[in-house]
Amino acid sequence: MLKGIPKILSPELLKVLCEMGHSDRIVLADGNFPSESMGKNAIVLRYDSCNIPELLDAILQVFPLDTYVDTPVSLMALMDRDVGKIETPIWKEYESIVSKHDARGSAAVGQVERFEFYDRARTCYAIIATGESAVYANVMLQKGVV
Q: State yes or no: is 125 an active-site residue.
A: no
List residues bridging with 143 in a β-sheet.
65
Among 119, 110, 141, 112, CA closest to 34: 119
Catalytic option among 30, 47, 57, 66: 66
Name the pairing type of β-strands 109-112 and 139-142.
unpaired
| Axis crossing angle, helix 90-101 with helix 52-60, rounded to the nearest 10 | 10
CB of 60 closer than 8 Å to CB of 97: yes
Catalytic option among 22, 68, 70, 119: 22
CB of 104 closer than 8 Å to CB of 142: no
Q: State yes or no: is 66 an active-site residue.
A: yes
Q: State yes or no: is 101 an active-site residue.
A: no
How much of the chain is in helix, strand and coil states, percent to nearest 5? 35, 20, 45
* Residues carrying an active site annotation: 22, 66, 118
